[in-house]
Chain A
Amino acid sequence: MLKYSLKRFGSTIIVLFGATLLCFPLLSWVGDPLEDLRYDTDPNAEFLMQQRIDFLGLDDPWYVRYWDWLSGVLGCLDPTNTVLGECDFGTSIGGSNVTDMIVNAAAMSLRLVLVATLISIVLGIGIGIISAIRQYSTFDYFTSFIIFLFWSLPPFVAAIIGKEYLAIQYNNWMGDPRFSAGNILLMAIILAIAVPIVMGGSTARRVITGSIMFVYTCTVMPLLDHMHFMEHPRIGPIGLLVLGLMLAVGLTALISGLKNRRVLYVALGVVAAAMISYYATWELLRQIPGGYLLLIGLFVLTIALCVIGARLFGGYAKGQATVVAVVTGVLMSALILLDHYMYSWPGLLSAKPRPVRTIGAETPNLQGDWWIHSLDHITQLWIPSLAMALMSIATYTRYTRASMLEVNKQDYIRTARAKGVEERTVVLKHAFRNSLIPLATIVAFDFASLIGGSIIVERVFGWNAMGQMLITGIQNADPAPVMAVVVFTGFISVLFNFFADLIYGVLDPRIRVS
């Protein structure tokens, strides 16, 4: 594995080198970096032109400039800054340090693209599987319709619609967030129709599910309204416990079946541990020394504890217990985190009465602690991410559905069914897992193309990430920022293809063996 990784890393460097060698001369032949000055009526223009010629080394041939640039960038391979010199991506025409620019822009782009990818993986695969299982059902037709709508919706239109309804209208409503009787009734009717369609089953079962959903919505929404949930949301310990129990039971039922008590007890144990740590870490998380690093640390610790616990108490069902424990643990952590965010929500509302701005990645001059700033980032992030995710959701859904249907027709699935394996196991263990293999490739490709394609969404939301950097660089015929984007995007795409290869190994035992 190590040898394989090193080999991949080596080839990455060569691929990137080739890409830069191709891009740099192309860039230096296209465009005129002095263009704006040529039409400048300022008597100083001559002088400025000479200044820029010296600065960009325009009198040198492209390979001399390329070497200057490359020797700076090669420094990035050397973290000690001694052998190869300092990491330096050069300077832009405007005199900015491109190393700082790319770090800044990459952080923003990654934030946007990572969240968009996560949203699209979860939604895309989820919807894809359900519509494959319920092929040619109402749900299948309905999602196909929606998916094709997403597909054909240009991102900037989606972005503008998102701004109108998810930001402006939402903020207007948040001024006095009340559910009217009409809202509640409408919501109840939508859910009463939608949930049975997703759940499936016989007509009688659908009617019952629908009625339950209707009554449930009509009770819960007025209750939330009464509690001022939209201004002061909390999950609280009871909510956490109830949701935890539902998770433990549900996941066990899904993955191993409720008959497997070992797994169920492990899952319940995880929920109990989560409840304890909810109280134990409350103060620590409020202070949150280290910010995101602490969260990541705690998260890793949670997974480790879940794995250890499941191994110790899982007994004969160790494998399934580990999966259930880890998934329960992760989701419980997410719920606890959500509760913390909810606790800070009123704080955000007082610092920022209209909680979703349509501009920028963060709110300037926002007063508040780490949680409020983090919430601000989330409120600013989610609409652009969603706008970017729409097209990926569509792609992933269609691929998952097709791939799932394909796998379902395979002989080994028929054999499994013939042997009397439960439908749950057939779908989750045999069909789903194998259908993910082609998807891993697509996600890896998609990630890199999302970075490059984010320019429109960036502009509509006033973000200043890599797309912006690329376009301005090309317009100004300014090599340093463009090359920085090329190197970074290239690196990310190679990296994600590498991840995809690793995931193949996990998904497909045949690859591991060879």
Chain B
Amino acid sequence: MKLRKLSAAAAIMASGALVLSGCTPGDDGENGNGDANGGADNGDANDVVYGEEGDFTQEGQAYIGGEPTDGTRVDLPEDFETREDTIVTSPGGVPFVNYNNDHTLANSVNNSVVAAQIHSGFWYYGTDLSINQNEDFGSFEITEEGDTVYVEDEDGEPEIDEETGEAVVDEEASTSYVIEYNINDEAVWSDETPITVLDYKLQWASQAYDEDAGFEPSGATVALYLPEGLEAEAYDSKTFTAEMPAFNADWQLMLSGPGQPAHLIAEEAGMTPEELNDAIDEGDVDALEEVAPIWNTGLGHHGEWDENQTLSSGPYQLAEWNWEGEETGGSVVLEPNENYWGTPPGTETLIFQFSDESTHVQALENLDYHVVSPQPDEDVADALRGLADSGDFIVHEGDTATWEHIDFQYEQGPFADTPELAEAFALCLPRQEIVEQIIQPINPEAEVLNAREIFNYQDGYDEFVEESYDGRYDEADIDAAAEIIEEHDAEGTDIQIHHFDVPRRSAMVEIIDTYCGEEGAGFNIVEQADANWSPGDEGWEGVGLFAWAGSGQIISGQNIYSTEGNQNTTGYSNEEVDRLWTTVADDVSDEERTEALIEIEQHLWDDLHGIPIFAHPGMDASDASIANVRSTAAQTQIHWNAEQWQRYE
């Protein structure tokens, strides 16, 4: 009886359900709340060509507008349009922290990578470290050749300043060089205010008055090399000139993007652009003190921003800034800058998400990211090649501007006591073996680097090396090394190898040990792995194993190899080299400069300052359906031409 009651209750509810089921809430019969197929489609696709393996192309990579033949940007077709699509990429874990990329706390590669998309400038680095003028933005050239006269010593050689290591300029006798800059008439900020000389003047002032007015710039080169500032007819001129009292071989690098919108900063500081202009011209520190905090962080930093203030001078502008803290994480969403006067960007939404490199391979496989640049090692290389085998992904293999080398310490230790031992160490150093075992698993094309001032992927490398180096250390020669060691009665001498405790370098030390150690030439190799070691530390002995990150500057080596150079930490000194650097830095023809560099290299080989080993391999990967992705040797990373990326399928 009771059981029957129960089933009756159930039956009533069930029949109720039948009535109800006719009207499931939200069931409009056509699943109208979304299209599960997703994806955007956008009319005609551009024609693409597929790359072959080459110096500037990657096999299988698609290019819109023709296969690139040099390190410059791809020549996009006239009718190139923005495609309604999203591309997500990650430059690594460090987030974008400041709209002002010149601020000292924004001085990270990732900040520059994002900033490069919201700003454009006079020039950019090509994939082979070439410096290319950006004609969309404007042009610049030396209009007045000056003459740099150096103070001479008794022998008629240029006198070297003992503090800076640079040649002393005779200011009275020298005349200045004048560089003229022309900004494209159409160049405007995203609020349609023209980009003018005032923007550059503010950039100059931020360095010239940094401590006085409270600016916090990340560098000081503009104010250092252009002490007189910038000259223009009016504060809103598109043409301006800069006086360079002493020639600087890297003059092209001094000014690029306009940095911050000066008109907006002036407005925020409660002054007119004219007043800001006057304050800069007169060096009015009191007025500039008002401007400095706005220049530093006032227009958008640490995720606090206002779309009316983060103005763009480039193809993209900030659309969203998901801030998750300054260590890592978060993302930046970019949208096209409608007032950009040049070629429109390739993709409607470009997202930079900041996550650790170790997450990149799986993220690419899951298409969370479409372009990634993980830290290359053997496992990553294998995983990426495995992905590429499917044909859906492209691996971009190449070299970077970072080069591994050893330096001999001549101030103390075995090489200070017996400099001849450096020759023995150089002879037994198995450079070929190191490259084969350590680097070729990542980049099968890798080869030993035989120069310090030019990379093996740059034009003219072969000719350069032919003249500067005779191949004496190509093959490890244990017997010859052992002979020298015996001659100096130095069997079992401790040779410390210092490095920053990186697994790859420990593996290198192991290889060196089999050739130069007790089993080989007869040294006693002692590994000194310390994450806190720095070549600048006092008192280290033996050999330093580390890498220099090349910046594309011509005279950066002067700091390392000249007697008084800031980065000369091994006591190397050769007067001839010091003099030759002065020639390199001077206003000479490219041939003369190359000649001088070759001579420097010859000395560096003869004196055994150190030995280059290899250029660090770079490894990037991308979704094969995205065109125009190109890796680069410059620090701008694979994102250097992100505004040209576009899905073509």
Contact = CB atoms under 8 A, between A and B. Distances in A.
Q: Do A and B bind each other?
A: yes
Interface of A: 35, 38-39, 41-44, 47-48, 51, 92, 94-97, 101, 104-105, 160, 163-164, 167-168, 171, 231-232, 234, 236-238, 241-242, 245, 261, 264-265, 268, 271-272, 275, 278-279, 282-283, 286, 343-344, 346-354, 356-360, 362, 364-365, 459-464, 468-469, 472
B506 to A, nearest CB: 21
B561 to A, nearest CB: 15
5 nearest CB pairs, A to B: A464-B329, A462-B355, A347-B34, A353-B38, A282-B25
Nearest to A356: B366
A365 B349 contact: yes
Residue of B14, B20, B333 with highest tally of chain A CB at under 10 A: B20
A349 B367 CA distance: 14
Given A42-B218, A238-B17, A360-B329, A268 B355 contact: no
A469 B33 contact: no
Interface string B468-511: 00000000000000000000000000000000000000000000
Interface in B111-131: none
Contacts, number: 186
22 contacts: A39-B534, A41-B567, A51-B216, A95-B105, A95-B326, A96-B325, A160-B362, A163-B366, A171-B367, A232-B36, A238-B20, A275-B16, A279-B20, A344-B34, A350-B37, A356-B366, A358-B362, A359-B90, A364-B88, A365-B86, A365-B349, A462-B363
Interface stretch (B5-13, B61-69, B181-189, B419-427): B5-13
B358 A365 contact: no
Interface in B323-357: 324-331, 333, 349, 351, 353, 355-356
Contacts of B4: none
Residue of B31, B325, B331 with highest tally of chain A CB at under 10 A: B325
Contact of A171 (B319, B359, B366): B366
Given A44-B218, A168-B366, A346-B31, A359 B21 contact: no
A286 B331 CA distance: 29
A114 B114 CA distance: 35
B369 interface: yes
B324 A104 contact: yes
B52 to A, nearest CB: 30
A472 B365 contact: no
A250 to B, nearest CB: 14
Contact of B13 (A241, A261, A460): A241
A462 B325 CA distance: 13
B26 A286 contact: yes
Contacts of A353: 37-39
A35 B500 CA distance: 14
B553 interface: no
B10 A245 contact: yes
Contacts of B325: 96, 101, 104-105, 464, 468-469
Contacts of A101: 325-326
Contacts of B302: 95-97
B36 A41 contact: no
Contact of A237 (B6, B24, B35, B331): B24
B532 interface: yes
B220 interface: yes
B264 interface: no
A39 B297 CA distance: 25
Interface string B29-64: 001011111110000000000000000000000000
Contact of B327 (A232, A357, A469): A469
B541 to A, nearest CB: 19
A459 B358 contact: yes
A351 B38 CA distance: 6
Contact of B14 (A48, A164, A241): A241
A464 B567 contact: no
B460 interface: no
A124 to B, nearest CB: 28
A461 B13 CA distance: 47
A350 B33 CA distance: 9
Contacts of A51: 216
B25 A279 contact: yes
Nearest to B2: A261
Interface string B353-393: 10110110011011111000000000000000000000000
Nearest to B567: A41
- Interface size class on chain B is 35 or more
B320 interface: yes
Interface of A is mostly: helix
Nearest to A285: B25
B227 interface: no
B438 to A, nearest CB: 25
Contacts of A231: 36
A462 B362 CA distance: 12
B27 interface: yes
A349 B33 CA distance: 10
B322 interface: yes
A390 B211 CA distance: 55
Nearest to B349: A365
A359 B219 contact: no
Nearest to B35: A350
A241 B329 contact: no
B104 interface: yes
B38 A349 contact: yes
B128 to A, nearest CB: 25
B358 A236 contact: no
A359 B359 contact: yes
A447 B155 CA distance: 77
B2 A234 contact: no
Nearest to A281: B25
A367 to B, nearest CB: 10
A237 B21 contact: yes
B214 to A, nearest CB: 11
A92 B25 CA distance: 51
A96 B326 contact: yes
B566 interface: yes
Residue of B2, B10, B327 with highest tally of chain A CB at under 10 A: B327
Contacts of A283: 25
B105 to A, nearest CB: 6
B386 to A, nearest CB: 12
A461 B329 CA distance: 10
Given A238-B17, A346-B31, A349-B38, A163 B362 contact: yes
B536 interface: yes
Given A241-B14, A283-B25, A365-B320, 10 more contacts: A35-B532, A92-B326, A96-B325, A238-B18, A286-B26, A343-B26, A351-B38, A365-B331, A462-B355, A468-B327
B345 to A, nearest CB: 16
A426 B128 CA distance: 78
Residue of B2, B320, B363 with highest tally of chain A CB at under 10 A: B363
B356 A241 contact: no
Residue of B2, B297, B330 with highest tally of chain A CB at under 10 A: B330
Contact of A459 (B13, B356, B362): B356
Nearest to A473: B327
B446 interface: no
B638 interface: no
Contacts of B534: 38-39
B244 interface: no
Nearest to B18: A238
A464 B328 contact: yes
